Amino acid sequence: MEQRKEQAIHKLIEEGLFFRINKSKLARHFLKDVLEINVFQLSTDEVSKEICKKYNYTLEELPKEKEELFKFVAEDIMGIDADLEPYQVFNSEVLQVMDDLKKINSMIQEYEKMQQVKDIDRYERTKYQYLVEKLNKAKNEVCDYMAENIKSYVYRKMKSKKKQYKDILFSNIFYDITDLPYPFRGNEKEYKITVFAGLDYKFNHMTIMENLELKSNYIHDKKKFHDLVDIYINSNDFCNDILSIIEGNHILNKRVMIKKAIDVYIEGRMELFCQIIPLQIEGLIYDYCIELGISPSKIDRVPFDKKLEELVAIDKNFKCHEYFMYDFIELRNTAAHGRLHDDMNYKDTANMLILDLLYLCKFVNSSSATAVNRMIKLVKEIERENTLNDEWDAEYKVLEFINEYRKERLPTFYDTNKEIQKIVEYAHSEDFIKYIKLNVMYPAHLTQGQKDNIRDILIYLKKSPELKEECTYLLKELSKNANYQE
């Protein structure tokens, strides 16, 4: 029935009616399709009786007045938000798109004009050209959205926000209608020249007002800017934060030179720090690319910006890549060629580099793009829930963990983690099998993908002699409710 309803609605969308008329009229066209009768020629009582037969309502549940009845159909059966009219939401979205296109065109004109300035530095001109290309890509994305996706996006946006069933098995698999329709929407700052400074990612411990002051001084008063950065660093313990992250991460822990460089920074030997860290940061980027599964052949002996392009293609949450592709590369090249003594304030440069290192360490340690990080995050969540409840009260998270663990074992770096050992042992216990059995026997809430995941987990657990018989039985039961046979 739900599928038939969606088919009727999408037919109205394709025919161009859904975003042109009000809900009451939409409901009439909808009922004409799903009931297969011309409701325009029926009385209110006749329509109500047909609705009751189709959707199992009683006459007492339906409004008596004609317009209220069709409004009820639109909101309770079709699922349109009570406070919205589809045509109004659509028109509002079109105006927003037009506004974004106007902004994009204005920024392109501004940056093209900046490239023509007579005395502009070649390096600055390159950055403006990059932004022009990025904005042209953004314009194409907006146009594609208008041509292909605006109707489906608006439809999702104005559907009734009814409480959705909570996925108790795989909490990281869900449908999020809050996604923005295209990258430029709400992210104008990512297309401005200040994006190359990476300021939005280095100062997360500041208040909004402090951050605004910092950005203003970055443009208008660099000395004041660096003074504020110095105060910011001295007010926190970022060196120990970095060391703590390094100690707990298998990728970062291999970089022994970073630990030594932190000591150099603490000792105040800023010139040496500025020479060491840029190359270590590039090495970390390389290590993370390998962790993401990028082939060494794609990133060996290629420029640093090409490594970053490969990284961002897989992990789009690495938002600071434009800083590392431009301003950081200039700094790295300066250090590599021994030119740091030429008109450079070592302390200011070292301060910015320590913030670069902090951001990168935090990102590498937390990004959900890697299976290891996803598993470690789940381990911490399970540990936290079990600490609060003093019992295994996070079975669905254990299920998520084992779903990752069966595909890729954790690096040996984590072998001493007792919490991981406990989770793996619990996953091979009778209690956990009982939890899986509960979901196998009552699978109505499971999607096909979730059934597939449970199947693969059971196959993995079946390797344990103690669980083989029970897992074999559950696989047979599961096959009755899935699109495959055991």
pLDDT at residue 166 above 80?
A: no
Question: What angle in degrees, to the nearest 10, is found between the helix axes of 150-158 and 2-14?
Answer: 130
pLDDT at residue 174 above 60?
A: no
pLDDT at residue 134 above 60?
A: yes
Instruction: Grade residue 176 by pLDDT with cuts at 50, 70 and 90.
Output: very low
Compute how many other C-beta atoms are within 10 angstroms of the C-beta atom of residue 457: 21
Tell me the C-alpha distance between 132 and 110, whole Å.
9
Question: In this predicted structure, what is the pLDDT of residue 91?
Answer: 96
| pLDDT tens sequence across 313-331 | 999 999 899 999 999 988 8
Tell me the C-alpha distance between 202 and 317, whole Å.
15
C-alpha pair distances (Å), 309 with each of 47, 123, 259, 314, 463: 59, 19, 27, 9, 41
DSSP tag of 155 = H
- Closest of 161, 6, 165, 164 to residue 81, by C-alpha: 161
Instruction: Grade residue 470 by pLDDT with cuts at 50, 70 and 90.
Output: very high
pLDDT at residue 39 above 60?
A: yes
What are the residue boundaries of the structural domains of the chain, listed by start?
2-77, 86-158, 237-366, 371-479
| pLDDT tens sequence across 365-411 | 999 999 999 999 999 988 887 766 655 567 888 999 999 999 988 99
Kindly provide the b/e burial profile for residues 272-306, where b requires at least 16 CB atoms within 10 angstroms of the residue's own CB: ebbbbbbebbbebbbbbbebbebeeeebeeeebee
Torsion on CA atoms 402, 403, 406, 412, rounded to nearest 10 = -60
| pLDDT tens sequence across 68-118 | 999 999 999 999 999 999 999 999 999 999 999 999 999 999 999 999 998
Tell me the C-alpha distance between 66 and 44, whole Å.
6
In the numeric block, the tokens 């091979």 are attached to 428
Tell me the C-alpha distance between 360 and 366, whole Å.
10
In the chain the first and final C-alpha atoms are separated, in Å, by 30
Compute how many other C-beta atoms are within 10 angstroms of the C-beta atom of residue 243: 16
